[in-house]
Structure 1
Amino acid sequence: MRQSAPRFPDGATSRAVLIGCSDFADTNLPAIPAVQPNLTDLRSALTDQAHGILPPEHCRVLADPADHRSVGMALAQATHEAEDLLLVYYAGHGLLDEDGLLHLALSSTDPGHVGFTGVPVDLVKRHLGRARARLRVLVLDCCFSGRAVAAMAESGSLLSAQLDLSGTFTLTSTTATAPSHAPPGRRHTAFTAALLDALNQPEPLTLDGIHQHIDTVLQGAGLPRPQRRSVNAAGDLALARGPVQPHAGPPTGSEPEIRFRRQPPDPPAHRACDTVMYVLMLGVLAAMGVLFEGWFATLIAAAGTALFLGLVLLLVLLRRDLRHDLVVDGDGLGTQHRTNSARVPWRDVECVGVLRRSPGTVMIPNVLIVRLKSDAPRPTGFHRRLNQRLPDRRYVVVGILGTYGVDPVHLRSAIEHFAGGVYRTDQELLEMDPRLR
C-alpha cells in the first residue's frame, strides 16, 4: 500500500521524552539490558545531524529513573514547551494493578504494589492531553510479566482504550495479551530494533508506514504484531527525513563521567602570531629610540616598556592552563582547575539545581547550587566568595555555568542520568527556600 506524503515536524517547537528502565530492584522483574541501547540509538536517530527531526537539546532521555518525580518533571516540561510534536517513548516492563490499569515500571517498582510504585499510563495520557502540540505520539515497548499478561487477556483491548486520545498516534510493541520480546544477546529489543530499521529506510516513512514496516518485520520473525491507533489523521507524520545511522548518543548512565569545559577563545596558533608581532614592534621601537633624542625618545621608551610588559603577560598566559572543568559522574559532581579540585558526592545531596541569579545582591547568572542533606559534611574547595552569600551551611555553590561553558539543558540531562530525580528548577529552588532570592 502506497503511503501518503510525509509531513515533517518543526524541530524548534517539538519535544521528545525517551524513558527506559533496564535494571530493577525487585527480583521478580528481570533486567532488560537492551533498553539502554534502545534509548541511545533512538535519540541518536531522532537527532541525527543530517536527517533527524529534533535538535539534541529538545530530546530528553531518562534512563532507569527511580522515582515518579523525574518522570513527571520531564513530561510536564515537554508538555509545556511542545507546540508542533510531542513524542513520548517508554521501554521496560508494563504491569497492571488490581483494576487492570497499565503502569510503566521504574527501577524501584514493586510488582506487589504497582499502583503506588509504577507510573500509571493514565498520568502519561493526561500530560499528552494537556499538551499544546498539534500532534502527540506515544510509543510503548513494554515487556509484560505473566500476571500482567493474564489480566490483559481478561480485559481485551484495555491498552488501546486507555490510550485513546484525540490528536494522537499510539504505537505499542505487542497485542493486548502478548509479552514484548527482547532477544538474548541482541543490542535492541525486537520492537525497537524494527523501529530503528524503519527510521533508516532510504525514503522517509510516515508513522503509518513505520507501523507497517515494524509489523512486517515482527510478523516475519514469528513475534507478536505491533498495535497502532491513529486519531485525526495523525499517521502522516515522519520521524526522520532520510536514512539515519545510530551514533554515539547522550549520557545514558553507562559513561564513566561527563566533563564540561569552556574552549579557549583563541587557538594557540593565533597567540603565537601575536607574540611574533610584539617582538617585531619592540624591535622597531628600539631602533627609533636610538635614532631620536629628547622627549620623543622618552615616549618611545615608555611605549616599548608597555609593549614589553604586555609581551611578558602574553607569554605567561600562553604557559598557564586556563581550563576549568565541571565533572558529573556516578559518584557525584565537582570542579577541577589545574591542581585544585572540589567535589560533593551524590550520597550527601538532597537536591541540585541552577539559579538564574546568585543569592545576595550580585547579579551572576546561572549558578549551580547544591542543597546538602541535614547530616552531610560540608565540602571544601568551592568558590569562597560565592559561598559566603548563602543562607546557611546546607547550601554549596559549585560554580557558574559560564565558567565551564555549560549549557543548562545538557547539564540537567547529565545530572538526571547519573543521580536520578535530584534536579530542581530555579522556581522549585526558590519555592523551597525564598532566602535564595
Structure 2
Amino acid sequence: MSVLPDPGASRAVLIGTSRYDHLEQLPAVSNNLTALADLLTGPLSLRMPAPHVTVVENPPDPATVMEPLRQAAEEATDTLIVYYAGHGLIDPRDALTLALPLTRPDRVETCLSYDWLRHILLGSRAERHIVLLDCCYSGLALGRMSASEGLADQAAVEGTFLLAASAETRTALAPVGDTYTAFTGALLDTLLHGIPGGPPLLDLETVYRHLRLTLEARGHPVPQARNRNSGAQVALARNHTDLPPVPVTPAAGPEPDKRPWPDPASIRTVTGFFTNLAAVREASGLTQQEVSRRSAGRISTGSISRLVNLETLPATWSTTAAYLSACGVPADQIRQWHSTWQELRRNTTTTPQARAVPRSDTAEPGKARRRLSNLWRGHRH
C-alpha cells in the first residue's frame, strides 16, 4: 500500500554542484535544487516544514556534505530523502563518486564517495530512505548488472528506493539551455502535474515506470532503480490529475468511495496531522465555502482556514470532526482520525519540540533550514 511520509518526522538533504574548476559547468543543477526544495515544502508534494529540507549547493569539500547528512539521518524517523545532482565519476575501484567544485578527475580525494553517503544511510533511524542520483554513471550505486547478487547487495540499504538517472555505463544529460537537467526536469514535471490514469498516490515505483517511458521516448538516458523492502511504496506526491476539479458527491449504494483520502494511520506528528488535514479538502474537490455550507453552519470558512494552519492540536475534537464530515470523509476514516488525534494529544507535551507520537528511537526535530548555498565564495568563472 502506497503511503505519503509524515512531513514532521521526515528530512531531505538536497546536494548539487553546478560550478567546477576542472569539469564542465552544469548551471541547470542550481535550478534543480531550488525547484525540488520548493516542491517538497509546497502543497503539491509532501508539505515538509522548511527547516526539514537542507540544500547544500556547491560544497567546497566532502565534510560540508557529510555533516548535514548525519544530522538529517539522526533526526528522521519516517523517511529520509537524499538527492544529488552534478557530475558523477568512476574511481579506480570501479565505484561511483560525486564531483564537487574542486574535483579533479585524477584525484579521488577531491570527490565525495557514494559509499560514504551509503554509510550514513545505514546508520539512519529513518524507516525508509529515498536516494535520487542525477549524475553520470549513477547506476553504479545499484551495483554492476553483471556482478553477483551479493556484490550488488552491498550497494543497497534496507528500506530504500534508489533512483538513478542513468545506467552504470551511461552519462546523464543536461541539455544546453534547458532550465533543468533531463532527469530532474522529468521528475519535477511528473510530481507537479501527475500521471493521467495513474494511482491516487505517486509512489516511487509508479514514478520510476513513468520516467522510463517518458525519457526513453525523448531519446534520453533511461533511469534505473532498486527497491529494498517497502521503499517502492513511498509516495512523493498525490496524483494531481486524479484530484476532483469540482465538488464530488459520494455515490449512493454499495459503490466504494475511491477518492484519494489521506491515511490517518500514517500520521505520527502534529505537523503530519495538519498537513494531511489540509489534503483532505483537496481530495474532496470542495472549496472552503462549500465545506462550510455542507457543515450546516457548524464550521465557518475562517474556522477552516485557522484549523488547517494550526501548529498545536485543538483541545476539542468537534471542529475537526465537522470539517472531515463536511468534506465527505467516510465515517470509519473519521473514527481513525479521532484515534490519531487522541494519541497525539496524549503524547504531546508542553515542550514545542516534543510533538511526535513517541517511539523508542524518536530523534530531536530539525534545526532551522540550512541553505548552504555557494559556500565556496572564491570560485568564479
TM above 0.5, one fold? yes
| 1:49 shift after superposition | 3.5
Between the aligned partners of 2:153 and 2:82, the Cα distance in structure 1 is 18
Q: Give the TM-score normalised by structure 1.
A: 0.52
Conserved 8 A contact 1:14-1:85: yes
| 1:157 shift after superposition | 5.3
Selected match of 1:137 from 130, 143, 148: 130
| SS of equivalent to 2:237 | coil
Structure 2 unaligned blocks of 5 or more = 195-199, 242-365
Partner of 1:397: none
Between the aligned partners of 1:420 and 1:240, the Cα distance in structure 2 is 33
Q: Compare relative contact order (CA 8 Å, sep 6+) and give the higher one, 1 or 2.
A: 2
Between the aligned partners of 1:21 and 1:226, the Cα distance in structure 2 is 20
Partner of 1:20: 16
Conserved 8 A contact 2:134-2:172: yes
Between the aligned partners of 1:54 and 1:239, the Cα distance in structure 2 is 11
Partner of 1:419: 375
Structure 1 unaligned blocks of 5 or more = 245-406, 422-437
Q: What is the Cα-based RMSD across aligned positions, in Å?
A: 2.7
Q: Which amino acid aligns with 1:119?
A: L
Partner of 1:100: 94
> Cα–Cα, structure 1 residues 62 and 241, in superposed 2: closer, same or farther, change >3 Å?
same
Selected match of 1:9 from 5, 9, 13: 5
Q: Which amino acid aligns with 1:409?
A: A
> Deviations for 1:285-344, whole angstroms, at most 9, x for unmatched residues?
xxxxxxxxxxxxxxxxxxxxxxxxxxxxxxxxxxxxxxxxxxxxxxxxxxxxxxxxxxxx
Partner of 1:263: none
Conserved 8 A contact 1:167-1:231: yes
Between the aligned partners of 1:226 and 1:142, the Cα distance in structure 2 is 11
Poorly superposed stretches of 4+, deviation over 4 Å: 154-162
Conserved 8 A contact 1:103-1:120: yes
| 1:70 shift after superposition | 1.2
| SS of equivalent to 2:74 | helix
Which structure shows the higher strand fraction? 1
Partner of 1:238: 235
Q: Give the TM-score normalised by structure 2.
A: 0.59
Between the aligned partners of 2:169 and 2:127, the Cα distance in structure 1 is 31
| SS of equivalent to 1:229 | strand
| SS of equivalent to 1:240 | strand
| 1:162 shift after superposition | 5.0
Q: Which amino acid aligns with 1:6?
A: S
Partner of 1:208: 205
> Deviations for 1:180-220, whole angstroms, at most 9, x for unmatched residues?
01111110111001111121234431000110111111110
Selected match of 1:117 from 110, 131, 148: 110
> Cα–Cα, structure 1 residues 156 and 204, in superposed 2: closer, same or farther, change >3 Å?
closer
| SS of equivalent to 1:409 | coil
Identity, % of aligned positions: 38
| 1:103 shift after superposition | 0.6
Conserved 8 A contact 1:9-1:53: no
Higher-Rg structure is 1
Q: Which amino acid aligns with 1:226?
A: P
